[in-house]
Amino acid sequence: MSTRYEVARTDLDALLAEWGETRYRADQVWKGLYEARIPLDAITALPRALRERLAGALPEALTVALAATAADGLTSKWLWRARRDGTEIETVLMRTSQRATVCVSSQAGCAMGCTFCATGQAGLDRHLDTGEIVEQVVRAQHDCPQRVSNVVFMGMGEPLANYGPVWESVERFHGDLGMSARQITISTVGVVPGMRRLAQESLPVTLAVSLHAPDDALRDTLVPLNSRYPIADVLDAAAEVAGARGRRVSFEYAVIHGVNDRIDQAVALGRLLAAWPGAGGAHVNLIPLNPTTGFSGRAPTPGRVTAFAEAVRRPGVTVTIRRNRGVDIDAACGQLRTRARDEVTPGPASGTAPEPEAEPASEPEGRAVSVLAPRPARMSP
Ligand code: SF4
């Protein structure tokens, strides 16, 4: 059985034709789900009996296991349980006055094993299918007072390790939800064959490369995939994507006290990326790390992060320091699932949920989901 947001338009048409419904009805369903972006049951132009029949034939793929909204009302997070096998995945919605961004998971868990990441520590359960990825965005939209404008593949999983469903989802976001390809960001820890494949695609999505270290010796210890695809290969592939797109690639750097936050490391990072030949130049996002139960690292002080940023900027690289969003609701990748599993003995989890690029809006009105009460805000030391 297909799920509600997995089913393609042609299959929906065929299903409704089989039920003796007109093409006009299929149009109403599709426009309701993807143009109006409302739940099936809210498409009141459809007879109730048809809505109920559709709900039975095309169930949602995800049920809410936990949900929470941060105290600022701008960041919401869901822990979903997949209907087909109960596996758990996470989605984060981040809002500003200019945009609403959904951070989606591409896999349940992750096989990449990055040492500072709660998801990586738990390992891979399975790949998500297209319907499960698309549904994360549509379901977040149902609880968002603004139109969702941006999607970032920065949730659980390595998107380029699940290439087919991820790319199909990108095409659905662009074609069915009407999003600009440039507002869709695929983040990778450096899966070079996937990056090269991305360079051949027609839709100009944005690429973010998680670097986290200025040299291979350190990166080997943080990102195990580096031993297979070292920094030079990752930067080459990133330049290929930038060349094909004609626009800059961003490089993510989780800043960890005493590990990768020294000034000489910042200088090395600045030199490395100033020499990077990619179109548009490199942009670095510095993301102070939140602590995790399985990793002893923590964020540096804000002053140290600022000094690090200055040193990276010196040779001409642009740098943004990202504020972590939704710290009080474990909004970083893998944290909510970890919290749910550790609820009896809760402790800090891991990862980073970087804020979107625009400045935060003043307190907007929004429909808050709060099945899970937010825990007290936990600031990085
Ligand atoms: S940081 Fe990303 S790629 Fe690395 S283990 Fe976590 S989810 Fe996977």
Class of residue 10 by CB neighbours under 10 A (exposed 0-12, middle 13-18, buried 19+): exposed
Which of 90, 106, 110 is the best mutation target for the ligand 1 pocket, counting ligand atoms within 8 Å of the beta carbon and taking the most?
110
Q: Where are the domains of the chain?
A: 9-57, 62-380
Cα separations (Å) of 358 from 87, 97, 288, 320? Answer: 33, 8, 18, 11
In the predicted model, is pLDDT for residue 38 greater than 70?
A: yes
Which residue's CA is the nearest one to ligand 1's atom 7? Answer: 157
In the predicted model, is pLDDT for residue 367 greater than 70?
A: no
In the predicted model, is pLDDT for residue 325 greater than 80?
A: no
Domain 62-380 carries which CATH code?
3.20.20.70
Decide: 297 and 289 in contact? Cβ < 8 Å: yes
Where does the pLDDT of residue 362 fall: very low under 50, low under 70, confident under 90, or very high at 90 and above? very low
For 279-313, what is each residue's pLDDT tens digit? 888 999 999 997 766 777 899 999 999 999 999 99
Average pLDDT score over residue span 243-254: 89
**Residue predicted with more confidence, 247 or 278:** 278
Task: Decide: helix, strand or coil at residue 142.
Answer: helix
- Find the helix packing angle between 9-18 and 23-30, rounded to 10°: 140
For the chain, give the mean pLDDT: 87
Where does the pLDDT of residue 363 fall: very low under 50, low under 70, confident under 90, or very high at 90 and above? very low
Domain 9-57 carries which CATH code?
1.10.150
In the predicted model, is pLDDT for residue 221 greater than 80?
A: yes
Give dist(CA 368, CA 296) in Å, integer.
33
Determine the distance separating the centroid of ligand 1 and the alpha carbon of 55, expressed in angstroms: 34
User: Tell me, what's the pLDDT at 296?
Assistant: 78
Domains 9-57 and 62-380 share a fold: no
For 327-360, what is each residue's pLDDT tens digit? 565 655 555 565 555 543 322 233 344 554 433 3
For 62-116, what is each residue's pLDDT tens digit? 999 999 999 989 999 999 999 999 999 999 999 999 999 999 999 999 999 999 8
In the predicted model, is pLDDT for residue 54 greater than 60?
A: yes
Where does the pLDDT of residue 368 fall: very low under 50, low under 70, confident under 90, or very high at 90 and above? very low
Catalytic residue among 60, 90, 132, 135: 90
Atom of ligand 1 nearest to the CA of 155: 7
Which residue's CA is the nearest one to ligand 1's atom 3? Answer: 158
User: Tell me, what's the pLDDT at 274?
Assistant: 96
Which stretch of 155-169, 186-200, 355-369 has the lowest confidence by average pLDDT?
A: 355-369
Give dist(CA 250, CA 211) in Å, integer.
10
Q: To which H or E segment does residue 68 belong? A: strand 62-69
Give dist(CA 356, CA 111) in Å, integer.
26
Query: Is there a catalytic annotation at residue 90?
Result: yes
User: Tell me, what's the pLDDT at 349?
Assistant: 31
Query: Is there a catalytic annotation at residue 35?
Result: no
Residue type, 380: S
